[in-house]
Amino acid sequence: MPPRSGLGKGLDALIPTGQKTSGPGREGGLTQIPVDSIQRNPRQPREKFDLEELENLAASIREHGVIQPLIVSPGKNGIYILIAGERRLQAARKAGLKTVPVVIRNATDQQLLELALIENVQRADLNAIEEAEAYQHLEKEFKLSHEEIAARVGKNRSTVSNTIRLLEASAAVKQALVNGQITEGHARSMLKLPARAQEELLNKIITLDLSVRTTEMMVKKYSGQRPLSKKKASQSADAADVERRLRSSLGTQVALKHRKSGGGTVTIYYYSNEDLDALLEKLT
């Protein structure tokens, strides 16, 4: 694999300093090119942009111009591929600019992904799932190891590995993470559970505002109770329905044991003081 100088050093290594402005199409230095000639990076991992932040940036650009140049790669027929500066490009368009300052760099498909990823990671612009998907592209499409990816984005190998693991979560858990309803710690702790159990626990986390520590304790309980579910095969449909309704109403695990004589027991599980307080509010 050929060396990739500068990538591991981040975006600063891509922006030359002390160079004079060069003409369009030449690598290095600064130049002005039409906004309409810049195409979005097809390898851009970021999908969501804060509209209010874009409007604020556009207002600043109207007053002061684009202070930090964009980084682009020459494409075909006078088109340039954006490497770094997605927010600045969108804001410049909103501000009505016709041209923007750029640094032109030649880049391969792999470098387009790496550099867009570096920019977003360094600025903390990606959500966890976008970051995980970008790492996975580097791993699967370009055959990079977690160690190599970590070197390129300036993170520990374990951080990269743990981020990629988030893609194993159920669809509901991943969406909750993107929406900011749970943290990466919550999502990672649920990976040991099957999808249905993840979603059941997810509802409790959101409803009861559970901490990561409490979630980890509940995962252990769920894991330990899974073998018991086999015994419920002999449970009547009515008893199972009552148990489901109780779980839904109380927002926690409930075990119903119904005797043929008509009596029985209902066991309500809680996993922290916060859980107990929430149960007391519902039951009293």
Residue 127 domain-assigned (yes or no)? no
Mean pLDDT of 78-100: 90
pTM above 0.85, yes or no: no
The domain tally of the chain equals: 3
Tokens representing 11 are 């975006």
Any domain includes 143: no
The answer to the question of residue 84 being in a domain is yes
What's the rounded Cα separation, in Å, for the pair 175 and 172? Answer: 5
What pLDDT was estimated at residue 176? Answer: 95
Q: Do 99 and 179 share a domain, yes or no?
A: no
Regarding whether 263 and 214 lie in a shared domain, the answer is no
Range(s) of the domain holding residue 94: 7-120
Q: Confirm if 103 and 30 have CB atoms less than 8 A apart.
A: yes
Q: Higher model confidence: residue 24 or residue 95?
A: 95
Residue 274 pLDDT: 65
pLDDT in tens, 48-86: 777 888 888 899 999 888 888 888 988 888 899 888 888
Cα separation, 281 vs 216, in Å, equals 24
Q: Please report the pLDDT score of residue 38 as a whole number.
A: 94
pLDDT at 28 over 80: no
Q: Is residue 71 part of a domain?
A: yes
What pLDDT band is residue 271 in, cutting at 50, 70 and 90?
Answer: low
Residue 218: CB partners within 8 Å, gap ≥ 6?
A: 201, 204, 210, 271
Phi, psi of 133, deg, nearest 5: -65, -35
Interval 212-263: pLDDT, tens: 989 998 898 887 654 444 444 455 667 777 887 787 777 777 888 877 777 7
pLDDT value of position 2 = 40
Candidate list 63, 86, 168, 274, residue with the active-site label: 86
- Let me know whether 219 and 236 are in one domain: no
Tell whether 11 and 38 lie within a shared domain. Answer: yes
For residue 2, tell me if it sits in a domain: no
Highest mean pLDDT: which of 99-103, 104-108, 124-128, 242-246?
99-103
**Both tokens of residue 140?**
């699967």
Q: Is 27 a catalytic residue?
A: no
pLDDT in tens, 140-194: 877 889 998 888 778 888 889 999 999 999 999 999 999 999 999 999 999 989 9
